[in-house]
Structure 1
Amino acid sequence: MATSYQESSSLLLQDLKVTIKEASLIFPFQETLTHERKSMFLSNVDQVLNFDVQTVHFFRPNKDFPPEIVSEMLRKALVRAMDVYEFLAGRLRLNPSSGRLDVDCNGAGAGFVTAASEYTLEELGDLVYPNPAFAKLVTSQLQTLPKDDQPLFAFQFQNISRQLSLPSKREALINTSMQRPYSSQSSFSTTCHIPTPRVKIQDSETTTTVFEATSEHLDFNIFKISSQQILRLKEKASESISSTGCVRATGFNVVTALVWRCKALSFVEEEDLEKESTILYAVDIRGRLNPQLPSSYTGNAVLTAYAKAKRKALLEEPFGRIVEMVGEGANRITDEYARSAIDWGEMYKGFPHGEVLVSSWWKLGFAEVEYPWGKPKYCCPVVYHRKDIVLLFPDIDGDSKGVYVLAALPSKEMAKFQNWFEDTLS
């Protein structure tokens, strides 16, 4: 049985008593500012994925690295990073000639904020359970600047406080035309069968995300799946996966299949079994394009894969078949498919339709990053009020190969989700 972390929100600290000590802009070296000003093309993937992703990283105290020393190290590291990645000090602008968003590499600076809380790390309680108050630990905008001049970058950048070998400026600012659409008259309909977008943006005013926040009450629950349970899921899937197929029972595939089954069946009545369910999940396309994107590519390089089936099939089919459908969705994304999907984005400027999106932070490397003051005790995204997004993130401070599954659903749906979760793991 998976460990459930569902708790009453009344037990969580509602006010972290955070005081902003300093909020300022940090600029690249002066020699960087003298370079010819340029704008950076943003691919259709960047145009759609135009929203903030806020994370918090918790560290144990280290007597050799008090807060003031850490703050200064981060400040210097940020300047060093901006010297290579010039766009970090830029601003998002609407290009009047193309009607597209570009990054104006104008050296206007990145945000740097220092703050303090009256609480100790121990007093925050169980860090695993998503506390909405953690949003107080993240600065969404600098109050001294107008809304249309906010920094693209407020410090959440990993590894830069270590003496790493950063890429050259030429490598860091590679031409993102590698993800430009082939043409405005795409042939995507014959090569790229993407679920019809829920949101179509008719003009270039404001972007809207597909999975909008809901006003209804949601129960938040985190399910911990151990490495041993993942192994058993793989074994269960392998019993019915075709031996001649191209899908493997990977950790991601089995956990995503588990989430899809539980989410699809969490609100099913008898008459709903013939309805289709579509799951969406991100796939890294760096190695799938021809030529491949280099490791120094700094834009969004993910596309949305999908799997679709009737809910009755998710109820009755062997678990391995559900895993196969998830894997087949990722296998569709070849170079031709990816290029065609980028064309599709040029035409629709929206997000594919799906019943649930699995957003995986599981393999992003948070657990492997070791700062001079130590590895993080815990890292997590700031919780948001959306019931159609399920997050996967690693167990950093415990079972390094285990995974946490964060779901937010209305109470009745959460009860069913949990029942199906435990049923599938049994």
Structure 2
Amino acid sequence: MASVLSSPSLQDLKVRVEEPIILVSPNEKTERRSIFLSNIDQMHNYYVCTAHFFNGNADFPPAVVAERLKMGLEKVLVPYDFAAGRLKTNELDSTDRRLEIDCTAAGVGFVVASSEYSLHDLGDDFVFSNLGFHYLALDNLWPGDDEDRPLCIFQVTSFKCGGFAIGFVWNHVLFDGMGAGKFMANLATQAFVDEKPPEAIPCNDRHLLAARSPPVVAFKHPEFSKKPDNYDGDGGLVGDSLDSKIFKLNPSAVNYLKDKANNGTRTEGKITTYNVVAALIWRCKALSSNCMDRERVSTLLTSIDIRQRLNPPLPASYCGNAVLFAPASAECKHLENWPFLELVKVVSDGIKGFNDEYARSMIDLLGINRGKVQPYIEYNVSSWMKLGFDEVVYPWGKPICFGPLRTVTETCFLFPGVVDGDVNALVSLPTVEMERFQAYFLDFFHP
């Protein structure tokens, strides 16, 4: 039903870079211009690392995959020319400095590598807490200055069995998860010899999420509050070693949670997979914290795609950052003792209340306090279940699975398992906390 996947002992995949990193640029001339970045974009100047695994295909050995992928990139970077650009800072005045994308057509990074192992050696579940997977998306290969660093890098790594992995690294200012998924879908269409129509023409007008003038901050926004005095950080003993594990829930486990949330009756309306999984993960995290005060208020942030929550909605193909946080709070004693339905309702109500006015208020707050506030993340459950990476159809087929390669103590990532219907929750915590978290998690299914 529910199980825990620990990091396997194989943590060095013996990856060798076969060729120096190259830059792939658009195969047509593109306009030199600067791209405005919204207040949400401004918060996300960091790189996201992912790996996408594929079984071997006799018609598409890894060398051919690398060539096709490079060909597809040259084509897709015409409509996505900003992805081939570079970050710059526009100093409007001495107090206002904004990041922009300079569309230079300088190119995206491209790496070809190989591993001494086969996919079978990685295990049937492709445990993404495996530290060895970090070698499948080497974002630190760029030898130049930071201002010349590509905003995304691709790495094709071949395995002894003929299978391969595509590492996709991107600076979060380019895309949120939905935007990155659509970018990969569009890239896949251009990798066919008889190229297919793009999945969707990207909408890159970041002014759609510009702050209002004058700004109107109509809500308190606890997701940007200061940390409470009695909160002990990220669970956190400074210097304590982190432990990363995948908490795997198959469809039976998810249905168990939904039944428990409905008291076995299924009469409370639609209970989503996200709401029940996030509620359980939040409970386990709050109760396993080194701060054992049961009177403490714990806050969960849910990453919300606001495209369809705005009025008017954003285009579905909007590729900038359109993700904000919906807060849910409760005292730890309630997280421990409430019926599960009550906890799920707290998560659900936080999401339901997230509308156009709340989102615009948050964007205005970021504008007023740009550079001075960041989300206060005690814990965030970020779902990658519907980003579409696993549904992309390449000439060589769909990926077996995909997942994030970087873990942080403040965020749990949810993503599809190898088996259809499975939900994987990737959690990273100090070792002592992880022991408590795992006990709370497993005990919930075996009261």
TM range (shorter): 0.7 to 0.9
Write the distance in 2 (CA, Å) between the matches of 1:14 and 1:113: 18
Give the C-alpha shift of residue 92 in structure 1: 0.7
Paired residues for 1:247-258 under 5 Å: 248-258=270-280
The structure 1 segments of at least 4 consecutive aligned residues displaced by more than 6 Å after TM superposition are 210-214, 240-244
Give the C-alpha shift of residue 197 in structure 1: 4.2
Residue 153 of structure 2 is aligned to residue 154 of structure 1: yes
Give the C-alpha shift of residue 17 in structure 1: 3.3
Match in the other structure for 1:310: 331
Match in the other structure for 2:36: 41
Structure 1 residues 129 and 153, CA gap change in structure 2 (3 angstroms): closer
Letter in 2 for 1:360: S
Paired residues for 1:12-91 under 5 Å: 12-32=10-30, 35=31, 37-91=32-86
Structure 1 residues 240 and 302, CA gap change in structure 2 (3 angstroms): farther
CA contact (8 A) 2:15 2:113 kept: no
Residue 390 of structure 2 is aligned to residue 390 of structure 1: no
Structure 1 residues 174 and 370, CA gap change in structure 2 (3 angstroms): closer
Residue 199 of structure 2 is aligned to residue 179 of structure 1: no
RMSD: 2.6
CA contact (8 A) 1:390 1:407 kept: yes
Structure 1 residues 414 and 212, CA gap change in structure 2 (3 angstroms): closer
CA contact (8 A) 2:13 2:117 kept: no
Paired residues for 1:25-424 under 5 Å: 25-32=23-30, 35=31, 37-97=32-92, 98-126=96-124, 127-155=126-154, 156=168, 158-159=184-185, 160-162=187-189, 163-166=195-198, 172-183=202-213, 186-188=215-217, 190-197=218-225, 215-239=239-263, 248-267=270-289, 272-349=293-370, 350-384=373-407, 386-395=408-417, 397-398=418-419, 400-424=420-444
Structure 1 residues 250 and 312, CA gap change in structure 2 (3 angstroms): same
Write the distance in 1 (CA, Å) between the matches of 2:146 and 2:16: 23
Higher mean displacement: 130-139 or 72-81? 130-139
Give the C-alpha shift of residue 369 in structure 1: 2.1
Structure 1 residues 101 and 213, CA gap change in structure 2 (3 angstroms): farther
Letter in 1 for 2:223: P
CA contact (8 A) 1:241 1:321 kept: no
Question: TM-score scaled by structure 1?
Answer: 0.87
What percentage of residue pairs aligned between the two structures are identical? 39
SS in structure 2 at match of 1:95: strand
Give the C-alpha shift of residue 223 in structure 1: 1.3
Structure 1 residues 61 and 31, CA gap change in structure 2 (3 angstroms): same
Structure 2: tracts of 5 or more residues without a match: 155-167, 169-182, 190-194, 228-233
Letter in 2 for 1:21: E
Letter in 1 for 2:109: G
Structure 1 residues 274 and 82, CA gap change in structure 2 (3 angstroms): same
CA contact (8 A) 2:300 2:379 kept: yes
Match in the other structure for 2:174: none
Give the C-alpha shift of residue 167 in structure 1: 7.1
CA contact (8 A) 1:6 1:129 kept: no
Structure 1 residues 90 and 218, CA gap change in structure 2 (3 angstroms): same
Letter in 2 for 1:92: L
Write the distance in 2 (CA, Å) between the matches of 1:61 and 1:172: 31
Letter in 1 for 2:256: R
Write the distance in 2 (CA, Å) between the matches of 1:419 and 1:81: 47
Higher mean displacement: 366-375 or 109-118? 366-375
Count of paired positions? 401
Question: TM-score scaled by structure 2?
Answer: 0.83
